Amino acid sequence: MGELINKSYKHNKWLVWTSFTIILLLFVLLFTQHVLSQNETSRYIKFNDKTWDMDKDPKPEWYTNQKDNVTFTVDLKEDYQNYLSSIEKPDEAGKEDPASDPASDPAAEPAPEPAPEPAPADVEQPFSINASYDGKGANAIKVSKILDAAAQFHGEYKVEITFPSKGDSQLDVAMDFAENSWGFTAKPAAFSIKRDTVNPKITLSGINKSVYTDKDGLVVLNLEVEGREFFSRCCIRPRCSR
């Protein structure tokens, strides 16, 4: 019996190894496609009308003059759409109720098309976030989902961080997407926002007083600029020290 099995294996050895190779190649192909789809997904941080691609753009240089807190948006809409597509839904094909079949009752009205399923209400936040300011932990961090007019969530979060001190310094933010329930992989993201709440001081010198007016420290300086890139006249209203 053993000799028959051995002879059969030798005779069909090429078929066994060919099948194994095909299965292995299919596995590698599917895994590669999954990795490529993850890499093609874009993730953004939006701050003061500026957008940063976390995976492709260089680290941004952002500034704020807010005294109490700073707010930005985490845009994960592409990951969220992939997450919704991956949710398994029960297969209801072939489970039609005979009583609702229009062919069994010619007088019955056709059933309306089912409404699209809403996004799951218990979507977990797919990232953790930490921040420090001037070397100290900024623990007052509030993260909330951004909803549209129909109260639907599309994958964007609003993040609000309260400054722990009044002095101007730098806010360092770190985000981690490890082991998230959405099923995507992404490297950690880190960026900084510098706070500057001190008003600039401008010193005027060598300017004839006839071209500006000064009242209570507010200077109105009229300039005429030639050039298609500028307005023909502009007005600068700096507070100055003279």
pLDDT at 8: 59
Place of tokens 């009308």: 49
Count other Cβ atoms within 10 Å, centred on residue 216.
5
Residues present in the chain in total: 242
Angle at 171 between CA 166 and CA 176, to 5 degrees: 145
Quote the DSSP letter at residue 126: -
pLDDT at 109 over 50: yes
DSSP per residue, 68-89? SEEEEEEE-HHHHHHHHHHS--
> 189-195 and 170-176 as β-strands: parallel, antiparallel, unpaired?
antiparallel
Q: Mention every residue, 6+ apart, whose C-beta is less than 8 A from residue 198.
A: 168
- Cα of first residue to Cα of last residue in the chain, in angstroms, is 108
> Which H or E run contains 159?
strand 153-162
List pLDDT tens digits, range 222-237. Answer: 666 665 443 434 444 4
List pLDDT tens digits, range 177-223. Answer: 999 999 999 999 999 999 998 877 766 666 776 667 777 666 776 66
Q: Which of left, alpha, beta for 212 (phi over 0: left; psi -120 to 50: alpha)?
A: beta
Quick one: pLDDT band at residue 37, thresholds 50, 70, 90? very low
Q: Output the six-digit token pair for 53.
A: 């691609």
Q: How far is residue 161's CA from residue 141's CA, in Å, rounded to a whole number?
A: 5
pLDDT at 174: 96
